[in-house]
Structure 1
């Protein structure tokens, strides 16, 4: 059985059709062509599929598409945030596969914590896994973005 509905993705209403068992990751990638959220472990461990739903980081591989009806979904394609430039400036990536998930998670951190401690940053980043690089550059990117956002206020 399928449902035809509207999802609000990156501020735009998008008509989609999916089965009740379909995960949000698949709807975003295969129906809407938004491939920034990546399939990784598909069991919620790696965070490569992270998107923000109503301002909260969510793993789209663990979220049924039907759960997203009536909510605001933000993907890396719709994000315009200093954290993106900070990742580039701090070389906080290598292969880049996990980077969109990290960026979405860091965006959410900086939305919820205006001045996170080093400990909070480390704890927040535990929900994402990178196999290519150390986490130091990613932590530095968060600190850099935090510094930039304070400077522009």
Structure 2
């Protein structure tokens, strides 16, 4: 008979600190949804293949279904609920609304969190597999966006508008930088 071990952790989520006692096997996704009632992050495949559970961990995207909650202690977690500034949508959220970057909406929180990280990657001039010349900053192109967003699946096939929304938000970010 095996015993389960629990650990008391402190999670900083969307700017607030939460103390939780969790089974050491609890994923960040389950801690967010079941313990903190942050249900915007969706459970899709629960295997890290669809991206519906994407959140930002220290401003980088992760599949929260693969991340243990205990391993997120001391790090900054941002979910879809933490992107807006009060009633004002995050620019990526606004672009998804403006350009109809969703259909059923199930994958949208993960898509948006991933897009926020993609735009930051581009701003940091990180190359991707689609970058033509890694000696120069990557351009904001549909090909670049598609490559970087490839870990986020949309069962409805709203990719054309998702790519348009991320591209618009990225170009607006460049203008405002």
Normalised-by-shorter TM-score class: over 0.9
The separation in 2 between residues aligned to 1:118 and 1:144, in whole angstroms, is 10
- TM-score normalised over the length of structure 1: 0.95
- Structure 2 unaligned regions, length at least 5: 85-89, 124-138
2:113 corresponds to: 104
* CA-to-aligned-CA distance 1:79-122 (integer Å, 9 cap, x gap): 13200000000101011000000000000001111253322211
1:9 partnered with 2:18: no
The separation in 2 between residues aligned to 1:72 and 1:116, in whole angstroms, is 27
Higher-Rg member (1/2): 2
- Structure 1 unaligned regions, length at least 5: none
Measured after TM superposition, the shift of residue 124 of structure 1 is: 1.0
SS in structure 2 at match of 1:39: coil
* CA-to-aligned-CA distance 1:27-73 (integer Å, 9 cap, x gap): 00011010111011000011000000011100000011111011110
Give the alignment's Cα RMSD to 1 decimal: 1.2
Measured after TM superposition, the shift of residue 15 of structure 1 is: 1.0
The separation in 1 between residues aligned to 2:140 and 2:62, in whole angstroms, is 20
The separation in 1 between residues aligned to 2:53 and 2:153, in whole angstroms, is 11
Q: After superposing the two structures, state which structure 1 stretch, 1-10 or 90-99, moved more.
A: 1-10
The separation in 1 between residues aligned to 2:33 and 2:113, in whole angstroms, is 16
Q: Which has the higher contact order (CA 8 A, sep 6+)?
A: 1
SS in structure 1 at match of 2:17: strand
2:87 corresponds to: none
Measured after TM superposition, the shift of residue 143 of structure 1 is: 1.4
